[in-house]
Amino acid sequence: MSDATCEPAELVALMRAGDLAALERMSRCYGERLVQIGRRYCRTAEDADEAVQDTYVQAGKHLARFRGEGSVEGWLVRMVINACRQKARGRKNDASLHTTEAVLSDGREGPEALAGRGELAQALGEALLVLSADDRVLVILSDAEGWTGPEIAEKTGMTPGAVRTRLSRARRRLREALAADVAL
């Protein structure tokens, strides 16, 4: 595009004459810049594109009113920013974007369930202290980490049968310790 088509004085003359060719020139000369400004000030790319289109519509309506006190680009940029702000203001009053029904539960556990789980976790932690360090490792690897008996046997150097036996005994001691805690 030649600089002559983007010459501000020539563009202002077209605007003051109310010539709609000025809009086409504005689009070519400042379109990319206006889209960048719109994307910076609007919330979404779609809103930015709409703001730029709104700007061209408003500029078309007010071509003859351009006073020429500032640059054409500055005038258009200000219009895009205002269009973005207007869209943001309009959103806060858009009833379709706001829910009127309060959702008290989103499927997660409530405070009572969380407190109960916390108490259970504390009781389980205390019951684990009843076990020897080796048995505690076996229970944690199996029940908390999800390791299989053969995996535990391989990592600890025990036979799979020994892992099963020790896990069974350790779990029984845990149940007894938890039952005693609950009876208190």
DSSP string covering 58-69: HHHHTGGG---S
Which residues of the chain does CATH 1.10.10.10 include? 111-183
Residue 126 has a pLDDT of 85
Query: In angstroms, rounded to a whole number, what is the distance separating the alpha carbons of residues 90 and 2?
Result: 39
Query: In angstroms, rounded to a whole number, what is the distance separating the alpha carbons of residues 89 and 91?
Result: 5
Residues ≥6 apart with Cβ < 8 Å to 158:
152, 166
- Just give the CATH number of 3-95: 1.10.1740.10
Per-residue pLDDT of the chain (184 residues; tens, 9 = 90+): 444 577 877 877 777 777 777 778 888 888 899 999 888 888 888 888 998 888 888 887 877 777 777 787 888 888 899 888 888 777 655 555 555 555 555 556 777 877 777 888 888 888 888 899 899 989 989 988 889 999 999 988 999 999 999 999 999 999 998 888 766 5
pLDDT digits (tens, 9 = 90+) for 76-90: 888 899 888 888 777
Residues ≥6 apart with Cβ < 8 Å to 124:
174, 178
| 111-183: CATH topology | Arc Repressor Mutant, subunit A (1.10.10)
Using the 8-state DSSP alphabet, how is residue 129 labeled? T
The answer to whether 147 and 141 are in contact (CB under 8 A) is yes
Tokens of 5: 């088509």
Which residues of the chain does CATH 1.10.1740.10 include? 3-95
pTM: 0.46
Number of H helices, E strands in the chain: 8, 0
Tell me the CB-side half-sphere exposure of residue 33, using CA atoms within 13 A.
13
